[in-house]
Each structure stands twice: as C-alpha cells, then as structure tokens.
Amino acid sequence: MACQTNSSVEVLDPIKENYDNYLLIDVGSNMVNKKFSRDLESVLQRAKDSGVQKIIVPCTSLRTSKEALRLARIYPGALYSTAGIHPHEAKSWEDCYYNELKDIAKNPECVAIGICGLDYNKDFSSPDIQRKVFEQQISLAIEMNKPIMFHQKGAHEDFLCIIKTHMPLMIPAILHSFTGSFEEATDYINLGMYIGITGMYSIMFYNMLIIKR
C-alpha cells in the first residue's frame, strides 16, 4: 500500500511552538571576535530567526569589556555585555582595573561581571594571582549588585571555598561552559548557581549521563 503525503500540511516544531513561553537568551556569544565583524548583522538576524531574543557577550579582558559595551550600544535590546578579566588574563591585572571595570559595569548595557574565576588546567597565570583577581571581581559584583559569569577548570576546591565565603552577599550567578563532574555540578546548584552546558561538553556519552542526572 502506497502512502501519500500532503505537501501543504505544515509540520509543527514543538520547540518553536513554545517560544512564546520562554525568553531565549544566548549567554555566551563571542561577538567581540574579529571573525564576526564583517557579518555581525547576519549573525544577529540568524539568532533572531532561531528564536533567540537577547544575546550576552561575555568578556575576558579590559579591552573586550570595552568593545562589548560599544557593540551593545549599537544594538540596544538585542546585545548586552559583561565586564571582567578571565583567569588566563589575571597576570595582566593592574590596580586601576577595578575602577575601569566599575565604570563599564555602571552602564545598563553591562548586565554581569565576568568572565572571572579560576583555571588551573593551563598555566597562563599563577594560582595566587588568579585567586587575588577573582576576589577583586567578586567584590566588584557585590558593590555593583550584578550577577557573575564564572569560569572554573581544575580548581573546584579553591573555587568553591572562595564563592562560599562571598555567597551571602552575591546575587545568582552562572558557571560558564561547565566541564566538571556530577558532584561538582551538585555543589554549585546547591548554592543557587546556574550551570552553562555547551555542545562540546554534551557530545560525550558520559557527560550526557551527568546532564541527565
């Protein structure tokens, strides 16, 4: 028996059907990368067509924090920025950076402090310097009453110790690009944090089991 299909029948996408029930926000779009400079408009349009309503541009240095703020002002309501120094860049920290990041964070387009945290997997900055710069940025987030976009790789115990110290004064935060264990995720969730899961992390079967749990 041959089956006939009616090409005029619209196939409904259950995800797109429910877009109206959710505010879809991309919290990790690297718009300050030069490779996007020529087609930024089309990137934003593709995001909009896919149902993404707002995009946050995470920053890793003073330079990218300034550039992201500039872009957010060009595309108000669509792009938002952060202000922070990534642990890889911690060795570049100068005393004046606190106030410079604060000036950026004062703007309404800047919605979070970060990316900041600890990364012991790569030796771009010493652990001592990383911890110092991390604490400075937590203090800034508390002063500015802004959430934090965290980064943690291979430094769970030190990271957890630091954020527990400041947690009573912090507002909810997100752990950017999580790659840890189920136990680590549980520690963070129990502190009221959000966990960012990337496609790179979820392609491995073991990691899918962690996400499912």
φ, ψ of residue 56 to 5 degrees: the values are: -105, 130
* Per-residue pLDDT reduced to its tens digit, 30-63: 889 887 778 888 989 999 999 999 999 999 999 9
Q: Which residues contact 180 (CB under 8 A, 6 or more apart)?
A: 152, 156
* Per-residue pLDDT reduced to its tens digit, 184-204: 999 999 999 998 876 554 544
Question: What is the tally of structural domains in the chain?
Answer: 1
Q: What is the CATH number of the domain that holds 58?
A: 3.20.20.140
pLDDT at 5: 41
Say how far apart CA 125 and CA 105 lie, in whole Å: 24
- Does residue 112 fall inside a structural domain? yes
What are 175-182's contacts with CB under 8 Å, separation 24+? 175/150, 175/151, 176/27, 176/28, 176/58, 176/114, 176/115, 176/149, 176/150, 176/151, 177/28, 177/151, 177/201, 178/152, 179/153, 180/152, 180/156, 181/210, 182/210, 182/213
- Does residue 81 fall inside a structural domain? yes
Say how far apart CA 49 and CA 67 lie, in whole Å: 25
Residue 20's pLDDT band (cuts 50, 70, 90):
low
- Does residue 4 fall inside a structural domain? no
Q: Which residues contact 43 (CB under 8 A, 6 or more apart)?
A: 31, 36
Q: Is 176 annotated as a binding residue?
A: yes
Say how many residues make up the chain: 213
- Does residue 163 fall inside a structural domain? yes
- Does residue 136 fall inside a structural domain? yes
Among 11-20, 55-64, 165-174, name the most confident range: 55-64
pTM of the model: 0.83
Q: Is 156 annotated as a binding residue?
A: no
Find the domain containing 154 and state its range. Answer: 19-212
- Does residue 10 fall inside a structural domain? no
pLDDT value at 17 more than 80: no
* Per-residue pLDDT reduced to its tens digit, 88-131: 999 999 999 999 999 999 999 999 999 999 999 988 999 999 99
- Does residue 1 fall inside a structural domain? no
- Does residue 65 fall inside a structural domain? yes
pLDDT at 13: 56
